[in-house]
Amino acid sequence: MGQCVTKCKNPSSTLGSKNGDRDPSGKSHSKRSGGHRDDHTPTCGKPGGDILVNGTKKAEATSESCQFPTSSGDARRDPESSTEESSLQRMEELFRRYKDEREEAILEEGMERFCNDLCVDPTEFKVLVLAWKFQAATMCKFTRKEFFEGCKAISADSIDGICARFPSLLNEAKQEDKFKDLYRFTFQFGLDSEEGQRSLHREIAIALWKLVFTQNNPPVLDQWLHFLTENPSGVKGISRDTWNMFLNFTQVIGPDLSNYSEDEAWPSLFDTFVEWEMERRKKGEEMKGLTTSDTESLCQEEQTYQYV
């Protein structure tokens, strides 16, 4: 997302219409005192001849004064259909507010305005979750179909409606099965489909890992991202397999990495990471030991000086 999660090259991130149902009989029903009118009896503009006027029966109404009922006059609109059409119209108005002038899609500029109206930063986790629910194929872009299907999926057709759905969407993303789906979606979302990418650039992967784990930061994540940032293995891209397996890694490998085994079917990059991280910790402990020893020696020297 222009710094936007939803096409930045460098991210830091009902309702179908339905015609109203008509009375299938196409007939108009009316009541008269003393019984029901035959459905085929015309509705006339004058009283019938059985009514006395000045003591005499009024002439029967002429056929010219009669009007036969039409089905259109008694059409009844399905309330549910009307509600769906109204919601669809609101979605259309909302989409057109942000869509590009030349393309039937919300692009980077429109996405930024959309995020501003939602009072969210384009790099927020909320925007990633929204893109997930909209099943967006590309960062910083919502096609017409994605936008409409997404609004239907979250049952919202306005800015206020979408904002009101954020709390429940964030809770949904905490569920294990839902988060797994969101996590796998994030890899595909980060690819540049126009370039036919099959792996994420290292910098993009780092940004997306930070983002997708916003609500559930595994202990090993910071160590992993530090390893990728230092990049001792010279890795340039992250494959889908590595991305997916890292979620398993965070779930079964403890933060001290002691239960990691190279004999298991982990990507080779994980072997390099664990080896590098254990060596880094070893050096850290050695430096800490040297610092402690130097401090003790200094204290002893000061005590000796005081007694002299």
Domains and CATH numbers, the chain: 83-173 (1.10.238.10), 175-296 (1.10.238.200)
Q: How many CA atoms lie within 13 A of 56 on its CB side?
A: 4
What value does the mean pLDDT take over residues 201-207? 96
Q: Contact, 133 vs 162, CB < 8 A? A: no
What token pair was written down for 22?
């008509």
Q: Provide the terminal-to-terminal Cα distance of the chain, rounded to the nearest Å.
A: 70
Beta strand 52-53 pairing with 56-57: antiparallel
What token pair was written down for 6?
């939803």
What token pair was written down for 154?
């979250």
Residue whose pair of structure tokens reads 């690819």 in the numeric block: 191
Q: Contact, 94 vs 157, CB < 8 A? A: yes
Which stretch of DSSP H or E encloses residue 57? strand 56-57
pLDDT tier, 299 (very low <50, low <70, confident <90, very high otherwise): low
Each residue of 152-195: pLDDT tens digit? 999 999 999 999 999 999 999 999 999 999 999 999 999 987 77
pLDDT tier, 81 (very low <50, low <70, confident <90, very high otherwise): confident
**C-beta neighbour count of 272 within 10 angstroms:** 15
Contacts for 81-84 with beta carbons within 8 Å, 24 or more apart? Answer: 81/17, 81/18, 81/19, 81/20, 81/21, 82/20, 83/15, 84/14, 84/15, 84/16, 84/17, 84/18
Beta strand 199-201 pairing with 35-36: unpaired
Q: Contact, 182 vs 122, CB < 8 A? A: no
188 vs 27, more confident: 188
| pLDDT beyond 60 at 53 | no
| pLDDT beyond 50 at 292 | yes
Give the pLDDT of residue 289. Answer: 75
Dist CA 275 CA 129 (whole Å):
34
> What's the whole-model pTM score?
0.70
What token pair was written down for 187?
């890899």
